[in-house]
Structure 1
Amino acid sequence: MEISFIGAGNLAWHLAPALENAGHHINEVYSRQLQHARQLVSNLYDAHTHSELNFADSPSRLFILSVPDDALESVCSQLVLPENAVVVHTSGARSLQSLERWMSVYSDVPVRVGVFYPLQTFTQGQSFMLFDEVPICIEAVDGVTEDALVQLGQEISDIVYIITSEERRTLHVAAVFACNFTNHLLTLAHDLATQDGLDFDLLRPLITETFRKGLAASDPATVQTGPARRGDMTTIETHLTYLSNQPKLSEIYLLLTESIRRQYSH
């Protein structure tokens, strides 16, 4: 399939090479930051940068919108596509209906729309990710487009689901808790340890075992430990005393402690 990327950030950095390795041809990469497009193109076989959002003469049939959610409508309003092209967004939170509405308003030619959402965290500049075990969530306006996107997904991943916008939104919220919030808590733990001259490496075995147990359990609630789980108010008060000069951390500690206590109060 002939493919163009609109956006050259974290996801595109990994998805474009994965599609290319599956035998697809990446024609063009557009980014508002031309340097990002150049960096991505340098890792592809025969792609080139595209300096504007007019793709009317592009040989591509699939256009992948890999841009921040709050930029999607603005990009769609400027996008010029070949007739009957397929355009997909890669957002966990934006609905298919939003993309369908924007393209019906802004496109001068008929296009087909869909969603191609890899459920994973990506970081630009890191080694290219293998997509075999990355869930690909598909949604489309019609069966032909859906079949084409499912086939595309199956060529790079063993896990492809057809899900609705509502289901995808739920997954995205859950992913924020599982990924973004978890990483932020690791950051806070790192800062707490290092501010008193302790090595964060001391916590790594604990973190590794915590994730191992949580992922091995059918329900992570069954392997919860710690003072809040035990109802150990003496330890909790000791911790809060230590955090008394750091009100933001104290607030987070109290919020999570209360959430755990409520979880197990019955």
Structure 2
Amino acid sequence: MEVSFIGAGNLAWHLAPALENAGHHINEVYSRQLAHSRQLVSNLYDARTHSDLNFADSPARLFVLAVPDDSLEPVCSRLVLPEDATLVHTSGNQSLTALENWMTIYSDVPVRTGVFYGLQTFTKGQPFMDFRGIPLCIEATSKTTEDLLVKVGQELSDIVYLITSAERQTLHVSAVFACNFTNHLLAIAHDLTTTNGLEFELLQPIIRETIRKGLAVKNPADVQTGPARRGDLTTIESHLRQLEMQPRLAEIYQIMTTSIRQHYNH
């Protein structure tokens, strides 16, 4: 299938090569920053940069909107697509209805719309990811579009689900807790150790074991440990005293401690 990308950020960096490896042809890559589209195109077989959002003469039939959520409507308002085009966004949080409405308002030709959401953390510049183990969440406004996106999804991944916008939004906020917040807590632990002359590497075994245990059981709550879990107020108060000069970290510690204690009725 002929595919074009609108956006050349973290997701596009991985998804475009994956589509090529599955036998699809990436025609064009558009980005507000030409250097970004050139960088992505340099990793593709026969793609070219596209300088604007007028794709009226494009041979592509699938257009992938891989832009931040707050850019979706502004991009759609300027986007010109050929007839018989299918447009998908890749957002975990934005609804399909919003995309459908925008194209009804802004497009001069009928456009089939859908969602093609990969439930993974993507970072530009990292080695290309294997999509086989990445859940792909599909939603579409018609059965024809749904069948098309499922077919493309199954060419990339072994985990393809039909999921509503509401379900996808729940997955997305859950992923923020599991991924983004977890990584931020690791960054805090890194700063606490290194600014006190300790090596962050000392924490890596406990980090690995925490993740291993959490994924090995049905409910991670079953393997929760630590002072909040056991109601150890003496240790909690000691930790808070250590953080007195860092009120932001003390607040985070207190919020997390309170949440754990309430979960276990301490």
What TM-score results when the alignment is normalised by the length of structure 2?
Answer: 0.99
Q: How far off is 1:45 after superposition?
A: 0.2
1:84 to partner: Cα distance: 1.7
Q: What amino acid does structure 1 have at the position aligned with 2:92?
A: G
TM-score (norm 1): 0.99
Query: Which residue identity is paired with 1:63?
Result: F
Q: Which runs of 4+ in 1 moved over 6 A?
A: none
Q: Does 2:171 align with 1:182?
A: no
Residue in 2 that maps onto 1:173: 173
Q: Deviations over 1:156-176 (max 9, x none)?
A: 000000000000000000000
How many residue pairs get aligned? The number is 266
Aligned to 1:11: 11
Q: What's the offset of the Cα at 1:23?
A: 0.2
Supply the distance in 2 between the matched residues of 1:51 and 1:182 (Cα, whole angstroms): 38
- In structure 2, the residue matched to 1:145 is 145
1:109 corresponds to: 109
Residues 220-235 of structure 1 mapped to structure 2, 5 A cutoff: 220-235=220-235
**Alignment partners' CA distance in 2, 1:237 and 1:110:** 62
- Matched residues, percent identical? 73
Whichever residue aligns with residue 65 of structure 2, its letter is L
- Where do residues 3-152 of structure 1 align in structure 2 (5 Å cutoff)? 3-152=3-152
SS at 1:132 equivalent = helix
- Counterpart CA distance in 2 for 1:205 and 1:15 is 32
Question: Which secondary structure state, in structure 2, belongs to the residue aligned with residue 176 of structure 1?
Answer: helix
For the residue of structure 2 that corresponds to 1:77, the secondary structure is helix
Instruction: Render the CA deviation track for 1:37-79: whole Å, top value 9, x for unaligned.
Output: 0000000000000000000000000000000000000000000
Between the aligned partners of 2:148 and 2:216, the Cα distance in structure 1 is 34
Given residue 257 of structure 1, which amino acid in structure 2 is its aligned partner?
A: T
- Secondary structure of the 2:132 match is coil
Q: Give me the whole-angstrom Cα distance separating, in 1, the residues matched to 2:218 and 2:61.
A: 42
**Structure 1, unaligned runs of 5 or more:** none
Cα distance in 1 for residues equivalent to 2:103 and 2:216: 43
Distance in 1, Cα, partners of 2:31 & 2:128: 19
Gap runs ≥5 in structure 2: none
Matched residue type, 1:259 = S
Per the alignment, residue 251 of structure 1 pairs with: 251
- Give the Cα–Cα distance (whole angstroms) in 1 for the partners of residues 107 and 216 of structure 2: 48
Distance, in Å, in 2 between the alignment partners of 1:126 and 1:168 is 25
CA distance in 2, matches of 1:34, 1:223: 48
The answer as to 2:201 corresponding to 1:193 is no
The CA deviation at 1:112 is 0.2
Q: Distance in 1 between matches of 2:132 and 2:110?
A: 33
CA shift digits 1:111-145 (9 cap, x unpaired): 10000000000000000000000000000000000
Q: Which amino acid aligns with 2:149?
A: L
Counterpart code for 1:138: I
**1:212-223 matches, cutoff 5 A:** 212-223=212-223
**Whole-angstrom CA distance in 2 between matches of 1:93 and 1:6:** 18
Q: By how many angstroms is 1:210 displaced?
A: 0.3
Query: Equivalents in 1 of 2:194, 2:72: separation in Å?
Result: 40
Alignment of 1:254-265 (within 5 A): 254-265=254-265
Distance 1:67 1:16 in 2: 14
Hey, what's the Cα distance between the residues in 1 that align with 2:115 and 2:221?
A: 32
The DSSP-based 3-state class of the residue aligned with 1:91 is coil
Amino acid at match of 1:67: V
Distance between the aligned counterparts of 1:218 and 1:183, measured in 2?
22
SS in 1 for 2:156: coil
